Amino acid sequence: MASRVLSIVGTRPNLVKMAPVIGELHNRAAFEHRLVHTGQHYDERMSQIFLDELGVGAPDHMLGVGSGTHATQTARVMERLEPIILDWRPDIVLVPGDVNSTLAAALTASKLGVAVGHVEAGLRSFDRSMPEEINRVLTDQLSALLFTHSPEARGHLLREGCADDAIHEVGNTMIDTLVAMRHLIDPATMAATHGVQQSDYLVVTLHRPALVDGPLLADAVARLAEVGRSLPVVFPVHPRTRAAIAALGEIESAEGLRLVDPLGYVDFLGLVAGAAGVLTDSGGIQEETTVLGIPCLTLRDNTERPITVDQGTNVLLGLDPRRITDAPSLIAHARGRHSILPVGWDGSAAGRIADVLEDAATGWRRLPE
């Protein structure tokens, strides 16, 4: 009997992490697979474009939870997911990453007695002011299978009481997607599209509440405009950030600062691959730049991805907009620094997850009809 696997996605990075896993599960006769999209991200450019480009196809269920407070978003996912689990009775529910949809799905499944598998387990920033850190810790506690992609994750999980034999060091599925799509990435065209010279511009993404929802944003945007005078800046703006910038009033795109709409996967990575460097507060981009060998400046006080600093191209700037002014010199300094690719960041992580799921399948008990 094929094992029933129910995967949950809600946000843009969830799709990048799960696309290769979904593809692998579809290709194996050992699995019946269904996909739930919670609708945490719902804009065309935050969701549909990724479903199409990454070959995920239409989800079996769209929960349409949309935006809201953390409690509202989490509760809506739980309420709308529970009947789907009760109806289809999956053997395991797979949840990626650290967003509200991840925790909500893990809670719903585990309370019904259905096993949870966490893709990207064991990452820790040790900063509980980040909603993602709470989501990570709790999701790991609820998961029977912990799929990790960074060596320090095992120690974090063991310290929190997770079982050693639940931990599977499978590697990085986000990098599977990068490896699979790399041949489509076209830096020269993307630089031309945005009116910049290849290797002579800065890509910026900022969306974390700590920066975007507080008093730091105005200074950050002013400093980006200042940097833009010597190093052109291309800033694909997350909807949350777009709204916060609009609320500031009078900030217009300055001469060297181009605020553009969010990009699709291939276009965004083309833009990154052609850049002199990247300034970000994203998690996944710290990993992608490490693989692409592009200097990454992370505008946060901490990172749950320290391997990108130790072995990769990432430099932690701190949550301090004044440091943005240093970007051109930091990037010049970082140029030529080589990354050592972490183990399992090789394009085959999803296959290893599917292998673990096949081995684990005999231990599952399906909910009664």
Residues ≥6 apart with Cβ < 8 Å to 207:
238, 240, 241, 281, 282
**Shortest separation between residue 110's beta carbon and ligand UD1, angstroms:** 19
Answer yes or no whether residue 11 interacts with ligand UD1 by CB under 6 A.
yes
Q: Does 133 bind ligand UD1 (CB under 6 A)?
A: no
Cα separation, 273 vs 173, in Å, equals 19
Instruction: Please spell the DSSP secondary structure of 212-266, one letter per residue.
Output: HTSTHHHHHHHHHHHHHTTS-EEEEPPHHHHHHHHHH-S----TTEEEEPPP-HH
243 lies in the binding site for ligand UD1 (CB under 6 A) = yes
> One symbol per residue from 194 to 213: x for binding ligand UD1 (CB under 6 A), - otherwise; what is it?
-------------x------
Closest approach, Cβ 245 to ligand UD1, in A, equals: 12
Q: Edge-to-edge strand order for the sheet containing 3-9?
A: 61-62, 31-37, 3-9, 92-96, 115-119, 145-148, 167-169
Residues 6 or more apart whose Cβ sits within 8 Å of residue 44: none
Residue 260 near residue 172, CB atoms below 8 Å: no
Do residues 41 and 13 touch, judged by C-beta distance below 8 A? no
Of the residues 3, 7, 40, 308, which one makes contact with ligand UD1 according to CB under 6 A: 40
| Order of all β-strands in the sheet with 277-280 | 257-260, 233-236, 202-205, 277-280, 296-298, 314-316
Q: Is 253 in the site for ligand UD1 (CB under 6 A)?
A: no
Smallest distance, ligand UD1 to C-beta of residue 260, A: 16
Confirm or reject binding of residue 43 to ligand UD1 (CB under 6 A): yes
Least distance in angstroms from the C-beta of 238 to ligand UD1: 6
| Contact code string over 263-302 relative to ligand UD1, x by CB under 6 A | ----------------------------------------
Nearer CB in complex with ligand UD1: 43/200: 43
Q: Give the residue, chosen from 4, 33, 37, 41, that forms a contact with ligand UD1 under the rule CB under 6 A.
A: 41
CB 10 → ligand UD1: shortest distance, Å?
A: 7
| Residue 42 sits in the site that holds ligand UD1 (CB under 6 A) | yes
Burial category of 369 from C-beta neighbours within 10 Å (exposed 0-12, middle 13-18, buried 19 and up): exposed
Task: Using alpha carbons, select from 87, 159, 157, 168 the residue that is nearest to residue 123.
Answer: 157
Would you say how long the chain is, in residues? 369
CA atoms within 13 A on the CB side of 313: 30
Tokens of 139: 């999701």
What is the nearest approach in angstroms of ligand UD1 to the Cβ of residue 274? 22
- Per CB under 6 A, the segment of 40-48, 179-187, 336-344, 357-365 that binds ligand UD1 is 40-48
Q: Indicate whether 143 belongs to the interface with ligand UD1 (CB under 6 A).
A: no
Using rule CB under 6 A, residue 150 touches ligand UD1? no
Report the distance separating Cα 122 and Cα 160, nearest Å. Answer: 10
Q: Would residue 33 show up in a list of annotated catalytic residues for this protein?
A: no
Rule CB under 6 A: is residue 303 a binding residue for ligand UD1? no
Number of Cβ atoms within 10 Å of the Cβ of 45: 16
When asked if residue 261 is in the footprint of ligand UD1 (CB under 6 A), the reply is no
Check binding of 132 to ligand UD1 (CB under 6 A). Answer: yes
Q: Which residue has the tokens 């912990």?
A: 146
Measured from the CB atom, the residue of 68 and 155 that comes closer to ligand UD1 is 68
* Smallest distance from ligand UD1 to CB 262, Å: 9
Selecting among 61, 118, 156, 207, the annotated active-site residue is 207
Query: In this chain, which of 13, 20, 96, 342 binds ligand UD1, going by CB under 6 A?
Result: 13
Q: Which residues are catalytic?
A: 207
Q: What is the binding site for ligand UD1 (CB under 6 A)?
A: 11-13, 40-43, 46, 67, 98-100, 131-132, 207, 238-240, 243
